[in-house]
Homo-oligomer: A and B are copies of this chain.
Amino acid sequence: MESSKKKKTAIEPTREQDYPEWYQQVIKAADLAENSPVRGCMVIKPWGYSLWENIQQNMDKMFKDTGHTNAYFPLFIPVSYLEKEAEHVEGFAKECAVVTHSRLVPGEDGKLVPASPLEEPLIVRPTSETIIGEMYARWVQSYRDLPILINQWANVVRWEMRTRLFLRTAEFLWQEGHTAHATEAEAVEETEKMLEVYRVFAEEYMAMPVITGLKTEGEKFPGAVNTYCIEAMMQDRKALQAGTSHFLGQNFSKASGIKFLSESGVQEYAWTTSWGTSTRLIGGMIMTHSDDDGLVLPPRLAPLHVIILPVLHDESAKNSVLEYCESLKKEIAAKTYAGREVRVDIDKRDLRGGEKMWGWVKKGVPLRVEVGPRDIAKDSLFVARRDTGEKKPVSREEFVANLPALLQEIQDNLFARAKKYRDENSAEITNKEDFYAYFTPKNEKKPEMHGGFAFADYDGSEEVEDMLRKDLKVTVRCIPLEGGKPKGDKCIFTGNPAKYRAVFAKSY
């Protein structure tokens, strides 16, 4: 039993008690997703999938506004394609779904067994650089055919051993942009432009503050020259890589043969980029904002902005309450927020008021509006904010008029709160001893509640990275684009000349 001092929460355990389990329970209570019987593959349930639809719609618009179009490439990649880029194959061959047959026939015991072996095995795409590169090589002859600016919304498969809903699953949904350019400068510009799209999306839509930076050699995408990333802090102070944008140089264009006749008449290899975000964003959103009562959603991406809860226990007033709610719903739905219509619904289910209310708390809807016979008499609504827990009566007129501003206030509050949390859990560290202390749990029972983001000068060596990974399970999250230059002269670990000021953290 809980100690009597403790406030009863809708989610058990709490974040403090057991963060990983809290995360699973938040997902379950909000009915977002669940594990499927297919190893490592999740089922995204309607409430979770509508988060993905909102992510897609908003991000897709940003891609189109920056000149990209969508297309679709094959699910399968011939093994020989994967082999074309040495680092790439190294990175993906270890965990991939291999298709070897094209038919099933009854075996000796009557059970189906694979038949008709393929001449060449195929893998289910873990990412599509090689198959898309092959197509670009066919499409590009002259500099006039460049740039190619294409994005794909698709499913991909990486045979991960340890999976967690949204954060790491064998199959996941994502978008992968693949572009080809005539010059290096243009490709670098594209890589940085898409990183900026990701930053804006994370901060303005997900209300999730991120650090933009460059990955180190050991952490970059297999085959990339440079990997840019956005890194966010979760409420267990671990880092989550939420999106990556890769400058691929000419590595993949050489592997795939993307050549063009330049304006000056010379055969050149194109410069390519790729960039991706995935359903992992949903995991990041959950872990950034949710609390011990369940999911908390930023209004920009919430499937519903407002849930109206009619108080129906007085049978004689039932019809008039429902009528009032319908007219309120109509009035609210006519408003717009952030350029789209306000999403509102009425929960007419025959459930106890508390059960109904808690259901929507756990689903993270930003605003709950209770309407009972007494409220109608006063033309007043009882409004509850999910982010602050504040509950108060508001006149209907004021509520409706102020709704878009209130939703933005909630959006801004979530961002400010997450940023404050991150900043309070970041430290500037100037010596190895402090660094090790920072990442060493003081309380063995709450190992997750220590550490955070450590900013420190280091020599950029793989030796330091290997040591920290081994000793502390800490990695360089990125060399920040702003503030990545060392503050001092020396690496705090080796005393060698400092090369970067990096962000170090434990991570997902």
Q: Interface residues, chain A, CB within 8 Å of chain B?
A: 36-38, 41-46, 48-50, 52-53, 69-80, 82-83, 89, 93-105, 111-114, 121-124, 131, 134-135, 150, 154-155, 157, 159, 171, 173
A38 cross-chain contacts in B, Cβ below 8 A: 74, 76-78, 122, 131
Q: How far is the CB of A160 from chain B (nearest CB, A)?
A: 10
A49 cross-chain contacts in B, Cβ below 8 A: 69-72
Known: A70-B50, A155-B75. A99 touches B102 (CB 8 A): no
A82/B104 in contact, CB under 8 A? yes
Known: A38-B77, A89-B112. A71 touches B99 (CB 8 A): no
B75/A46 in contact, CB under 8 A? no
Q: How far is the CB of A381 from chain B (nearest CB, A)?
A: 27
In the complex, 29 of the A-B residue pairs with CB atoms within 8 angstroms, ordered by the A residue number, are: A36-B73, A36-B74, A37-B78, A38-B74, A38-B76, A38-B77, A38-B78, A41-B74, A43-B74, A43-B135, A46-B69, A50-B70, A52-B72, A72-B173, A75-B124, A75-B155, A75-B157, A79-B104, A89-B112, A97-B99, A97-B101, A98-B101, A99-B100, A102-B159, A103-B159, A104-B121, A104-B123, A114-B121, A124-B124
Each complex incorporates copies of this chain amounting to 2
B93/A112 in contact, CB under 8 A? yes
CB closest chain-B residue, reference A105: B93
B72/A53 in contact, CB under 8 A? no
A75 to B169, CA, bound (A): 12
CB closest chain-B residue, reference A72: B44
A405 to B457, CA, bound (A): 66
Known: A73-B43, A77-B38, A103-B93. A114 touches B131 (CB 8 A): no
A103 cross-chain contacts in B, Cβ below 8 A: 93-96, 98, 159
B112/A102 in contact, CB under 8 A? no
